[in-house]
């Protein structure tokens, strides 16, 4: 029986980092022919942008690398701990907020830091919030996410 691994990427607003992580991961999963075994979604810990497409700056930077971001922002909720196998937090603040929501130790064990899967950015300990940054901030997010998603995919495939 084939098992499906369900991934939930989480940031603050769910309009920059986590929908980009979802798009990068989905691209890798489809390219490697794993789309029937790995599912991707994303959510935010803040609902101020609920229902919105990703930030236009993030969509533009992602599109230039071949990623089409179509997710609509949504708030994370406690039921997500049942639906997903791994919850990937972009920074410590997201990690701590999601941790406080976890209904059990088993649920808390599903939460990981996204940068823990980076291989070519060994010093990276968070995906920096690009919202108040210039174009370079969005490129940095994509550089880190491409690295982390590759590491995450390799980990799941093993």
CB of 59 to ligand 4NP, least distance (A): 12
Residue 16 near ligand 4NP by CB under 6 A: yes
Residue 89 near ligand 4NP by CB under 6 A: no
Closest C-alpha among 108, 49, 103, 101 to residue 74 = 49
x-or-dash string of contact with ligand 4NP, 104-143, rule CB under 6 A? -------------------------x-x------------
Tokens of 16: 């920059």
Residue 14 near ligand 4NP by CB under 6 A: yes
Other beta carbons within 10 angstroms of residue 100's beta carbon come to 9
Q: Where are the beta strands (DSSP E) in 16-110?
A: 38-44, 86-89
Cα–Cα distance for residue pair 103/108, rounded to 1 Å: 8
Region binding ligand 4NP by CB under 6 A among candidate stretches 12-20, 33-41, 77-85, 107-115 = 12-20
Tokens of 10: 């989480």
Of 37 and 112, the one with the shorter C-beta distance to ligand 4NP is 112
Active site residues: 11, 17, 129
């Amino acid at each position: 029986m084939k098992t499906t691994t369900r991934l939930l990427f989480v940031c603050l607003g769910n309009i920059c980092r986590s929908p980009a992580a979802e798009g990068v991961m989905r691209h890798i999963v489809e390219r490697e022919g794993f789309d029937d075994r790995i599912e991707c979604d994303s959510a935010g810990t803040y609902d101020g942008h609920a229902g919105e497409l990703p930030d236009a700056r993030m969509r533009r930077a992602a599109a230039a690398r071949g990623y089409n971001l179509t997710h609509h922002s949504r708030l994370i909720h406690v039921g997500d701990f049942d639906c997903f196998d791994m919850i990937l937090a972009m920074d410590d603040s997201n990690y701590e907020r999601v941790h406080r929501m976890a209904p059990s130790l088993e649920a808390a064990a599903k939460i990981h830091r996204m940068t823990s899967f980076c291989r070519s950015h060994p010093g990276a300990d968070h995906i920096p919030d690009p919202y108040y940054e210039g174009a370079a901030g969005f490129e940095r997010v994509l550089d880190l996410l491409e690295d982390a998603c590759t590491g995450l995919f390799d980990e799941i495939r093993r």
